[in-house]
Amino acid sequence: MSKLTLKEIPLEGKRVFVRVDFNVPLSPEGEVLDDSKILASLSTLRYLSEAGARVVVATHLGRPRGQVVEELRLDPVVERLSRLMGMSVKKADGVIGKKVEKAVAELRPGEIIFLENIRFAAGEEKNDPQFAAALARLADVFVNDAFGTAHREHASNCGIARYLPAVAGLLMETEIQYLSRSRDNPPRPLVAVLGGRKVADKIGVIRFFLEQADALLLGGGMANTFLQARGLELGNSFFEEGKTEDARRLMEEAEKKAAAIYLPRDLVITRELRPNAECKIVLPGEIPPGWHAVDLGPETVAEFSEVIRGARMVLWNGPLGAYEVPPFDRGTEMIARAIVDSGAESIIGGGDIVAALEKLGLAERMIHLSTGGGAVLNFWEGKELPGIAALMDRSGAESK
């Protein structure tokens, strides 16, 4: 997947519209709690500023659904970006319109202005052509650095590309490189680790890995649905009632494929999900009423670790237990350490698993942590991501 990048086009003096994904968590007081997404696009913004571009930045924050929500204004995000950039970043009062166009026109080379929350505008999520054209009037070039929203067909990540030359930012370039390799040309043995709560989000990905991977290790709440499909007693454990038939079919399909599906051999269970609550280890099918599974058991950790030990690449999406509540983060931690110790190329598929690894202090030991959650799943499944499809191919750059 060869997309043109910002390093391959002239930038000095150009107005550059940059879509980033700074959808960061805020405290009740409006403080940024985690700036990792901001840090991920810092190199793109610095490169543009140092190249003498006049930089217009857009992101969403939360789900205002086309309405102005005071708690979702971007002032704390712009303040944190200014601190990280070591320069004053301006902020527009709106998203489009004469006042915004005037503020952009007054930018000097190297300066950065942030638009207000792009999802305050109803035309954003509708990919409204008129709204996209209004955004395009703010710039000469479009740079997409928001891999986390690349699976969304929105105005600020693909609609605008109908009116401007569109290239990848440095973060987007890195994401495409690593994820393309993991999907299209992975070193083998290839092991996929899938967790989280829902099977529904990952059915297509599981089918893809049944064809492409050597082993699939399933944990977290989604594994319960597979155990339920085997007729095992799960007590009060979460599982998706409407997806047990899908799980059963996937296990039948796995019997005809090269990839093997591994499910938990034992589970950590508790009656209440709180720190250091009473817990015990049982076999699947032996969970009593009132108890629920919250983590992988030691036998499962040992088996999964042995499979990982022989891998050359490991792809991981979704935590394997209730990582937010110690000690039920133990299974996720031990599998993470097994991946690090294996020496395998580790690609972490965004979302909650990145948060889990950061909480455990193991994030920096992985080879690549994607900034996308749903975008990664769609990419691995082979779906076209509108935010990437809209970018110029190197082969077609001259005709754009």
What domains sit in the chain, N to C, each tagged with a CATH number?
A: 6-174+384-399 (3.40.50.1260), 186-369 (3.40.50.1260)
The whole-number pLDDT of residue 238 equals 93
What's phi and psi for 164, nearest 5 deg? -135, 150
Instruction: Tell me what the pLDDT averaged over the chain comes to.
Output: 95
Per-residue pLDDT tens for 31-56?
999 999 999 999 999 999 999 999 99
User: Strand, helix or coil at 333?
Assistant: helix
Is the pLDDT at 399 greater than 80? The verdict is no
Arithmetic mean of pLDDT, 337-354: 94
Task: Examine the pLDDT at 298 and tell me if it is beyond 60.
Answer: yes
**Cis peptide upstream of residue 10 (ω within 30 degrees of 0):** no
Q: Which residue has the tokens 């990437």?
A: 388
Residue 1 has pLDDT above 80, yes or no: no
What are the pLDDT digits (tens) for 66-83? 999 999 999 999 999 999
In eight-state DSSP terms, residue 314 is E
What is the model's pLDDT at position 208?
92
Instruction: Answer whether the bond into residue 64 is a cis peptide, omega within 30°.
Output: no
Is the pTM here over 0.85, yes or no? yes
C-beta atoms surrounding 361 within 10 Å: 10
Rounded to an integer, what distance in angstroms lies between the CA atom of residue 8 and that of residue 382?
A: 27
Q: Are β-strands 215-218 and 260-262 bridged in parallel, bridged antiparallel, or unpaired? A: parallel
- DSSP annotation string for 56-73: EEE---S--TTS--GGG-
**What distance in Å separates the CA atoms of residue 371 and residue 22, rounded to the nearest whole number?**
10
Instruction: Please name which of 335, 74, 82, 311 lies closest in space to residue 195, comparing C-alpha atoms.
Output: 335
